Amino acid sequence: MIQLSIDLPEHFLDEEVRCGYTVTKQMKEIWAVELDLLSQLQRVFEKYNIQYFSYAGTTLGAVRHNGFIPWDDDIDLIISRENFTKLCKVAKKEFKYPYFFQTEETDPGCCIGLAKLRNSATTGIIKSHEKRNFTFNQGIFVDIFVYDNIPDDFTERDIFFKEIEKLKAKSLKFRNIFHCDKNELKSVKGRIKWIFEKFIKAFHINNPYYKKLSEFCQKFNSVKTEYVQDLFIFPKIWKCSKANFYKESILIPFEFLKLPVPKQYDEYLQELFGDWRTPKQLPPDHGSETIFYTSKSYKEYLRGK
C-alpha cells in the first residue's frame, strides 16, 4: 500500500469479522486510503469554516457501526452549493499531489456532477469507465455531493427533475461520444472519435450541456424550500431530504476519526433506509463495479491493460 499522511492505529489493517462479515486486509487498505482522504478534507473544512455532513450510507455506517458498514467501500459527504463554491476556490492551493480535487472544471471530461478528492497514486476505476478508456483522474476517492433547493410542490418537482435527467443524459452523451476503447480505434469511426477527443482537449472545449445542467440545478436556490437534494446523482422525487437535516450536526466516531452527522439522524436514516437499525448485507456501492489498487496508480493500471 502507498504511504499515507495519517498514522493508522496498530492492527487497523488486520482482517477481521464485523457483523458476521469478513473484512479483508485488501478492503482495510482501501478504507485506509479513503480515511486519509477524509482527513485531508477535514483539515480544509476546518481551516475555511466549511460546514459538511456525512451522507447516506456513510451516515448509516457512522451511527450504526461507528465506522464503515462492514461490506461497504466508500465515504460520502455532502455540502451546500454555497460551501461547495467556497471549497472550489481554495482546493487548488490546499490539495497537492498525490491528492487531487476533481470537478469538471479541474479535470474536463469527467462530467461527474459532484466533487471527488482522489489519491492519484492509487486506482479506483469504475468498470464502465475502463471500457471507454477515459483519461481523467481515476484514483481512489471520497465523494463530496452538493445539495440544492428543490420545489416543495410535487408536480413542479417532477417537471424539474425530468428536465435535469434530460440535461444529464445529454451531458454524459457529449462526454462519451468522443471516447472510445482500444478495439474501437481499429475502426474508422473509432479513429474519428479519437481525433475529436484530442481536438476538444487541445482547444479546451467545455461540455455545453454540463454547464446548463449545473446552472439549472441551482434554479431554486434563491428561494426558501422545505426540501433539498443532490440533483446530479439522485434526482428522485420520493427520495429527498428535509433542508433542516443539514442545519445542525453532532460528531460521531468513524473508525479512528470523527464525522458530523445530521443531528436528526434517526429521522434522516428512517427516510432513506426504513428500518436502518437492522443490518442488511448488500453488495458494496463500488466493490463489484470498481477496480481498486492501493499500491498502483490508475495511470500504471491503464498502461498495463
pTM greater than 0.85 (yes/no): yes
**Cα 57 to Cα 71: distance, rounded to the nearest angstrom:** 11
Place of cell 486506482: 123
List all residues 6 or more positions away from 149 whose beta carbon is below 8 Å from its beta carbon.
220, 221, 223, 224, 225, 227, 228, 243
* Residue 12 pLDDT: 97
What is the pLDDT at residue 128? 80
3-state SS, residue 28 = helix
CB 152 within 8 A of CB 227: yes
Identify whether the C-beta of residue 235 lies closer than 8 Å to the C-beta of residue 161: yes
Question: Contact, 73 vs 285, CB < 8 A?
Answer: yes
What pLDDT was estimated at residue 245? 96
Cβ contact 305:296 at 8 Å: no
Q: How far is CA 46 from CA 39, 93, 170, in A?
A: 11, 15, 37
Which residues of the chain are under the pLDDT cut of 50?
A: 287
- One DSSP character per residue, 54-115 reads E-THHHHHHHHHSS--TT----EEEEEHHHHHHHHHHHHHH--TTEEEE-TTTSTT---SSE
**pLDDT of res. 196:** 62
Distance CA 45, CA 234 (A): 24
Dig out the grid coordinates for 168 from the structure.
444529464
Q: Give pLDDT, residue 130.
A: 81
